Amino acid sequence: MVHEGCYAFLTAAFIKWSHACFILSVARTETHQPGRSTVTPTTLLHRLTRWERLNFLLTNRIPRRWATLFMGRFSRIRHPWIKKPCMGLWQFFAGDLRLEEAEKTEFDSMHDCFVRALRPGMRPLDPDPARLVSPCDGIIGAMGETNGTQVFQAKGYPYDLAELLGDDTLAERYRNGSFLTLRITASMYHRFHAPDACQLHQIRYISGDTWNVNPVALKRVEKLFCRNERAILELHLPPAKTGDEPASILLVPVAAILVASIRLYALEYPLNLRYEGANHIPCSTQYERGEEMGYFEQGSTIIVLTGPELTLHPALQEGQTIHMGEPVLNR
């Protein structure tokens, strides 16, 4: 086991190091060629990530489990000789890391930055009670009406709710509803919140793999969300008005490579690759609209599922970046 862990670390470190060296060397070459616009390592990184084979190789063809376990420990190192260079590289290559909204701007470790809180007022809630708000910041990767119990991880790549949820009966309750996939990138705000006043009675945990959940992987790994580690939260909503039937929605936080740890405040322990407890975890937690529910420890995906009584907000579009508190569902 020790040898496998060392191999995972060395493999991941070599790939990341060679990736960075290649980017920097090509950047220097292109920058000094006459007649061409200046190419920085950051812009070149974005170009390289468009090369799907290279992107998939660098972000998936490593020992995913061991790399993820290593990152969970490495990101918590507080020593300034480790923390400062890693934070600098992360900010350099992420490109869009914005910390001006954070409650604090000095962090003890990378993990401390990953799970940062925001200053009050940074994510105002839509005031219309007939709308449910986004539980997180994210990019809309896929959305639409559920065809029976079939949804899509990307265009042309379907999967069935029963496979995602591990429960045929639960899947049937969300037949012919709507789905919304929100991808949280590594630089985004990683905490997620209640989309409306609701109750959580049970958490279902399904152990799994840690494939990357970026668009390249979603077009190469069939039923990816059904393979990865995930939690299933069924939120029971009060009636919108007297006489209405109560509704419910599902939030499915899906883990990914380097981020197989989901922290829910309703539990006293995290759900991660080391978890060996029950798959069905009873709890009784009441949330107010917009109340914080938990966080990912780097970045990943939340899938929102509804029954036919709720519909997607008409202004939503695939590829759109959305913030927690903005409307996503209509009653």
Task: State the catalytic residues.
Answer: 137, 193, 300
Check if the beta carbon of residue 305 is closer than 8 Å to that of residue 146: yes
**Chain-centre distance of CA 57, in angstroms?**
20
Give the distance from CA 271 to its chain's centroid. 14
- For residue 262, the cross-strand partners are 271, 296
How far does CA 63 lie from the centroid of its chain?
20
Contact between 159 and 226 (Cβ < 8 Å):
yes
- Burial (CB count within 10 angstroms: exposed 0-12, middle 13-18, buried 19+), residue 195: buried
In Å, how far are 21, 79, 95, 155, 274 from 82, measured between CA atoms?
Answer: 19, 6, 20, 41, 25
Neighbours of 271 (CB within 10 A): 24
327-330: strand order across its sheet: 131-133, 327-330, 311-312
The length of the chain in residues reads 331
